[in-house]
Chains A and B, each alone.
Chain A
């Protein structure tokens, strides 16, 4: 029984979408015939010459009326009986029928009849609608409408409804209306105060005033920016392979400012495509040009650069074509487009516009040269400080060089001394065997002195496992707090010591990059040492070997007294990072002396705490941070290098390998590099130079920290254009294709340059010229979707032949015309806010979204707009609503991307380097979701689950799904649990004293209405049940209230807050809460 009904329903649906609407109207080519032919005929009888069969072309009338080689005439206007196409589509013989069986396309009876009627009526053709110039259509006269006609939108919609025998719905109630427009324009629900004000405002233009208030809110810009970022596939990571983070957020902020300031869309377009080419380009315009760099980029070793340049170029054409032209030019990468008049040559000519972007196929993803062209964006103050630091560093370097050269003669003596110290073993670091190892915040430290310990680490890409005596190894385990301080004591025995060493071990038992107990690196923020009873042992210089460049974590930061800065390592394998800390004065110890060392990990990165380490002392003159273990590892890693192989690696080093090799040679046999290595080491180690060395190191660390703090953004730098060829079937190795120059698709016109090579700026100017029929249509169609859930043409990404014929073509054109050349009410042409305002002011927008069975049956997807639509809000808004309603939301416009909570191990499948996530702190945990760090290969699960795109590829049309994973997310994700408990506490604090009042208050904030009686009853039950559960000990209030960083409010009873939190959680989980209706 059930299946019968379903079949019936499907048939009803199919019938509805077939054929001409309204039986008496004439068949129209664009509306009725082109969709059928495009889907079923054009593949073999359309624009693609190479795919054409029987020499027959049906997309052009002249061609379709010609007799073919086989002597038949496809179409004889007015005479279906003589028209071959009619004969073939009605054929009973399987060998004759069109479309042929292998095409797997069957025409319905109604489609066949429509084609026959069209031929009978004269087979008139129309140019494809979206390629016709945009002309402002006349507004229909609907004077006797029962609903207000607030602007032409309503006239077009009412006229269409009348043709269908339908009527529009009345205006929604004022509560629904305010909630709807506030969510649509700002992504945050109205506050109860805003609702009260609106309900009380009896002015005729109360609604319009609200709209103007919302349009001028920065939240409006944030909401628009989300959609734009999808389209241009903005992300904070590169997207291929290691998917490392790149600096792109200043571009996001440019987009935010553009929407906030209502930058005309033509200017917005020009700046993004060609900001760098504008005369006297401003910083703002250069930032905008980051648009050209947002495609995915790969740092995978072994890729073939030409192949990837081809990928990047094709990606740019697809994106530009989707975003501005609403076209699927991507199809023409391999062959002429099957349905639209884009040729393959058009595709590559479009790609040629971008051939002047400076880039490489293999892009470096770490170090100073990472990501190619970057624009630094220092604040004026940073600029001044940086310049001053550079001057001082230059001076300090010059002085050091001078002094070092002055001491040149003494170096010979020094060389002998060092070599001897090395040979006698005096240079070697002495691992200390701790007496005790404790922590301040609960982590457990275990000492392995003579005890054996297992370690697993990678060297040269393969796993090494060994079990050996710990020799002073300290291993952290147990509780894993975000910040921690390790306190280690040891007895060095009698001696005089020059430096303390911290040797950090990588081990497979650790997460992420296998250094720290969390995060993607460890950060040692401060190291302190003291000699009993309490004599401080100050350090003057921190040195480390160069592993992975992390300029934001220079070694000197471990002894700079600043608890937030520190030494850290993220990238890297095969080398144990070793930090050498030179004591200010020699430390003399006796047999009973105890040294205490404190390792602080107080950075903002969570759990950037070292997993395994040893401490060491050096008694010789300035041992280099090269201990025995790492010496062995790097020797294995470097076996192909001749010198390393000759070293006796069993000796503990304390000296750079290259220096050792050089010292063992006669001066005359040393290469220039070796001479320099010796001089550098001398400069670092010579006691006489220490004051200068220390001063320079401090300045350099200060500069590194400052430079790391300066915002930067990938952007477009211009270079000599690469040659662009047509790649036959997109094969990047095939160089037989024609060389092409930049040009726009030929059927859409051309850019005039008087022979000069056309630039991206020419392209941008053409895109926003009135000759281009596509840009405005594509944009307003996307805008429409934001406010009704579906575009006027459902296929936002395809206004071509295979796209959906708009439900209201004249309305779409009217909006496009109004966008480009506003008739009234706009500040300028291409005025985005004006178009949005026009849409939301209309009665069509303000209608009730309630439906009834007959309307649902007639127009299930609400394409005729006899009512408003109801749909779930987008991923970002789901998050923002919970934060706003609970009171957690922290609003700040723009800035670096933030990291909300994310489950541990979510990034485990990423590598190069291995990744672990460190959530932000404080305000940054509770920003709008738009600011969430966008990791393309593993998008934050809260966003992904609610259908946010990964932005690996351009996307203009999010799907809207409804899944069990969404339920789990809203119920159990710590951010939503935290929101629920904070909301619960706020209900108790601010919702009044009585239960009824409290529920009213909660509903007012979340849903902008009062609860119904049944709803009260359900929530009262839940509350009582919760209180019982917390009181009986079945559930634990303290544990629940500890979810998330926000402190539990004082003065409230935990069980009561917890029970109310569950009421709050139920409200935050309601379908209505995340629905705009």
Chain B
């Protein structure tokens, strides 16, 4: 673009075109086209096979929800309550805080009900999720390898415990690109809840690892700036901010007449994107303009930063083409007082989770959105301190719904104690492989060279779980 036309033209160009339009005008070599195409389209192009889903909403229950008080009904464990756990099950197995304690069975703290036509068994604390029972698939046979929060999160998110690997959201964004014009393609939301078991979560969990950082998850905050530095500095009008950005871009174009550097063109495109984000993100994150029945459906109060508000935001982000949305809800680390604490969690997540599924469905989006609900591990069938449960990795539950997932199904099982995955065990890489499969990606062919290896989200393992596919 010829900057001698002055700011007027720039401004019009700026406001009138999306990134692709401007890209076509500005880009003039094969390489530059390749660069822009990569961002917009992703590297898996064409897809390895037809996709069932286009995006993922991962409702990450951080801290390790008890499967025994959510999705895995164990009447036999209730009968064994307070009796010693059979040593045959626990001998030589990893244990966290129960190291050197006597291992006593701890029965389920709540009853379970059958829900829906499918009659899925779900803990009585989650009637709203029960109301969408026929849309969801419960996996009762998850297992993982890491028994402490930080590494277990890292494994769940990146498929590896060595830090520096891309998170699943980054992989998906890298593979499929983004359809969002004014938003990052991978967004992270975090809420805390009222239980007090607030395990830390590192920013590494949404890092792009060795992939370029444009694929990293962008955390939207419920306090302060919704995105870091998204607000115009104090004292500047939006017009003046826009004029400033246009001037920077005009100056960069002048420089590019000499330098012929594709990075300059990318920089210009990114400043435009930044401006569009400034204009759209604060508005997007303000749920106060949502109809009251929608707020009611989710149980969200505008500005409360709750899981319910974040579920509603997730839907709005999904509508705008964000590829991967990860909604963390902290506070599931119930070493003590599990009975009271699970009830608090249920209060916080039950209605909102179900509302998200219903809302997507009524908008026709559930068919191409994968909703995943689960944490980094489960909790012991043994008691900790008489009223809590310790970390547990051998068997726990996940819930999935949406694009390509078989609703109304319970898949896999643990043994009678809810200790170890028994029938159809699903490992973390299997979950990843399934997700990729539904998105049209063969996890074995989705490779990035790193340190001499063919790095995959699934490492050298993983298989899509065909039993839960519609």
Chain A residues within 8 Å of B, Cβ to Cβ:
2-3, 5-6, 8-10, 12, 38, 104, 240-243, 296, 298, 300-304, 307, 311, 318, 328, 330-331, 338-340, 458, 460-463, 733, 795, 797-798, 800-803, 850-853, 856-857, 860, 870-872, 903-906, 908-912, 914, 936-939, 941, 944-945, 947, 949-950, 952-953, 955, 959, 961-969, 971-974, 977, 1012, 1014-1015, 1017-1019, 1021-1022, 1025-1026, 1029, 1034-1043, 1058, 1062, 1065-1066, 1069-1072, 1075, 1077
Contact = CB atoms under 8 A, between A and B. Distances in A.
Contact of B24 (A2, A797, A1062): A2
Given A903-B228, A968-B274, 9 more contacts: A241-B149, A311-B151, A318-B162, A800-B452, A944-B203, A959-B212, A1035-B237, A1040-B235, A1069-B244
A1058 B234 CA distance: 12
B203 A303 contact: no
Interface string B16-34: 0000000010000111011
A713 B453 CA distance: 36
Contacts of B367: none
B422 interface: no
Given A801-B452, A870-B263, A1071 B255 contact: yes
A1026 B273 CA distance: 23
Given A8-B30, A962-B263, A1072-B255, A1040 B250 contact: no
B227 interface: yes
Interface string B120-161: 000000000000000000000000000111110000000001
Contacts of B202: 243, 909, 936-938
A946 B31 CA distance: 23
Interface string B196-226: 1111111110010011111000100101110
A733 B94 contact: yes
Nearest to B256: A1071
Nearest to A851: B260
Interface string B232-252: 111111011101110110111
Interface stretch (B264-272, B315-323, B394-402): B264-272
A771 to B, nearest CB: 24
B251 A853 contact: no
Interface of B: 3-4, 6-7, 24, 29-31, 33-34, 37, 92, 94-97, 99, 147-151, 161-164, 184, 190, 194-204, 207, 210-214, 218, 221, 223-225, 227-237, 239-241, 243-245, 247-248, 250-252, 254-255, 258-261, 263-264, 266-267, 270-271, 273-274, 277-278, 330, 335-337, 340-341, 390-391, 444-445, 447, 449, 451-453
A252 to B, nearest CB: 21
A242 B229 CA distance: 26
A1014 B254 contact: yes
A9 B30 contact: yes
A912 B229 CA distance: 27
A1070 B255 contact: yes
A1037 B341 contact: no
B328 to A, nearest CB: 8
A1014 B92 CA distance: 74
26 contacts: A6-B37, A241-B199, A298-B148, A303-B96, A303-B148, A328-B451, A458-B196, A800-B452, A903-B225, A908-B190, A911-B198, A937-B204, A949-B164, A959-B212, A961-B214, A964-B274, A965-B218, A1015-B251, A1018-B254, A1025-B7, A1034-B237, A1039-B234, A1043-B234, A1058-B235, A1069-B271, A1071-B255
A1022 B30 contact: no
A985 B195 CA distance: 51
B255 to A, nearest CB: 5
Contact of B235 (A311, A906, A938, A1037): A1037
Contacts of A242: 200
B251 A1018 contact: yes
Contacts of B240: 1025-1026, 1029, 1034-1035, 1062
A910 B162 contact: no
A909 B453 contact: no
A903 B219 CA distance: 13
B229 A968 contact: yes
Given A301-B97, A733-B94, A1029 B239 contact: yes
Given A9-B30, A952-B204, A961 B7 contact: no
B378 to A, nearest CB: 15
B229 A972 contact: yes
B247 A962 contact: no
B34 A967 contact: no
A1029 B37 CA distance: 39
Given A301-B97, A1070-B251, A6 B200 contact: no
A99 to B, nearest CB: 12
| Interface SS, A side | loop
A871 B270 CA distance: 16
Given A860-B31, A959-B210, A968-B274, A300 B149 contact: yes
A1072 B274 CA distance: 19
A1077 B259 contact: yes
A266 to B, nearest CB: 26
Contacts of B218: 965
A223 to B, nearest CB: 22
A962 B31 contact: no
A903 B161 CA distance: 29
Contacts, number: 303
A300 B203 contact: no
A801 to B, nearest CB: 7
Contacts of B151: 311
Contacts of A851: 260
B244 A1066 contact: yes
Nearest to B162: A953
A566 B274 CA distance: 44
B107 to A, nearest CB: 21
Contact of B223 (A304, A905, A947, A974): A905
A309 B266 CA distance: 45
B191 to A, nearest CB: 10
B259 A461 contact: no
B247 A1018 contact: yes
Nearest to B154: A952
A773 to B, nearest CB: 18
A1073 B236 CA distance: 23
Contacts of A240: 150
B277 A964 contact: yes
A1071 to B, nearest CB: 5
A1071 B244 contact: no
Contacts of B245: 967, 971
Contact of A952 (B3, B163, B234, B335): B163
A963 B244 contact: no
A698 to B, nearest CB: 39
User: Top 6 closest A-B pairs, CB basis?
Assistant: A802-B452, A1039-B235, A1040-B235, A937-B202, A302-B97, A9-B30
Contacts of B162: 318, 330, 953
A545 B184 CA distance: 50
A5 B341 CA distance: 58
A883 to B, nearest CB: 17
Contacts of A733: 92, 94
A832 to B, nearest CB: 25
A973 B196 CA distance: 32
Contacts of A910: 200
A339 B453 CA distance: 9
Contacts of B244: 971, 1022, 1062, 1065-1066, 1069
Nearest to A9: B30
Nearest to A339: B452
B247 A967 contact: no
B198 to A, nearest CB: 5
B148 A302 contact: yes
B384 to A, nearest CB: 10
Given A331-B453, A795-B452, A950-B203, A972 B232 contact: yes
Nearest to B38: A6
Contacts of B278: 968
